[in-house]
Amino acid sequence: MGNVTLKSVAEAAGVSISTVSNAYNKPDQLSAVVRQRVLETAKALGYAGPNPAARSLRSQRARAIGLVFTERLSYAFSDPYSVGMLAGLAEVAEQFQTGLLLIPLMPFDSDRPEEVEASAEAMRAAVIDGVLAYCLDIDHPAREIAVERGLRMVATDDKDPRMDGLVLIDERAAAREVGEYIRRLGHRRVGIIVDSKVDSAGVVEVDDVQHRSMSFSWDRYDGFREGLGPDVSLHTVAPPGHNSVEAGRAAGAYLLDRQDRPTAIIAVSDVLALGVLDAMRQRGLTPGRDLSLVGFDDVPAAADLGLTTVRQPIAERGRIAGRMLLDPEYTERRIVLPTELVVRSSTGPATTSHTR
């Protein structure tokens, strides 16, 4: 639509140029009605707001990339998968003398418009040249803002066709291999722990329909089910809170204390599985003998604790994402990296007897 400026937005909205500027830079100086009118007019004209990089550098480049995720900032440094991904991304950013900005956002919830707007503002204001969308809902407004700003975008899922680059693993196929392996061991009563994006007071039993709205881990869950087959009795639960050892411990306790306790538990992440290991230890249960346990990711602690899991190249995903964002000579736009089922002592043949 041509070169849309602050002036053209101001004319279309019937306000002054300073009012348009304040709508983006000093929203507290405007009424909610006026600011909304300005933003809606700007969107209709195809204007995504002032370019933060242009404000800071004449070169129009921020020389920084962003990692966007819907979690607390501390999660990026405490979750072992996130740490590995961040390390790979930072390694490439350093090679290209580019900064790395962590952008934690609130999960998308249409019933909380103030949080949605806060997330949108964070993306509008971020002084970056590109972004890695990591654990970001497909309908999160931050994605739309990044597209409107013309930022280069790379993702670790293939749900959004607007991405400039994709760094993937075949989640479903890797999970299917887990299910097939557990089935070969003779397990016919299996618990699955999915990662929930919905806060709850306790462990929640979920069916297929609920799982679609509650969890980030659709593909892994579907793969587990396919590999296990139709005659396996499944019990699927979502823990309170997001991916953490504490959440896994709570979900593990719930499954272990059932009268019809499963003979195997599959968790969609190693972090959740580590929590299940804690719950087993508290009950005097030996992994691989009294009950089989499988995780996913192969974080560093998995090998030390003998956890059977799916190994994926975590840091390499971060490195490739960084190259897609920063290296003009890297032309691949869709990469699917290999995975491997790593069998350790936490799994063994099914047993019909168990102790309380």
Q: Tokens for 38?
A: 């300005």
pLDDT grade for 17, boundaries at 50, 70 and 90: confident
Q: Tokens for 175?
A: 């999970």
101 and 14 within one domain? no
CATH of the domain at 42: 1.10.260.40
Residue 334 within any structural domain of the chain: no
62 and 94 within one domain? yes
CATH of the domain at 138: 3.40.50.2300
203 and 182 within one domain? yes
238 and 181 within one domain? yes
36 and 102 within one domain? no
What pLDDT shows up at residue 208? 61
What pLDDT shows up at residue 122? 83
Residue 204 within any structural domain of the chain: yes
φ, ψ of residue 346 in degrees (nearest 5): -80, 0
Residue with tokens 């909304």: 36
Q: How many structural domains are present in the chain?
A: 3
Least confident of 134-143, 157-166, 233-242: 134-143
pLDDT tens figures, 29-80: 888 889 889 888 988 888 877 766 555 544 456 789 999 988 888 888 899 9
184 and 146 within one domain? no
Distance CA 149, CA 14 (A): 24
- Asked if 220 and 171 touch (Cβ cutoff 8 Å), the reply is yes
Residue 221 within any structural domain of the chain: yes
| Residue 291 clears pLDDT 70, i.e. is over it | yes
Domain housing 236 = 171-312
Question: Which residues are CB-contacts of 282 (< 8 A; sequence separation ≥ 6)?
Answer: 253
What pLDDT shows up at residue 356? 44
Residue 207 within any structural domain of the chain: yes
For Cα atoms 102, 103, 106, give the angle at the middle one, nearest 5 degrees: 140
Domain-ending residue, one of 295, 312, 329: 312
Distance CA 251, CA 245 (A): 10
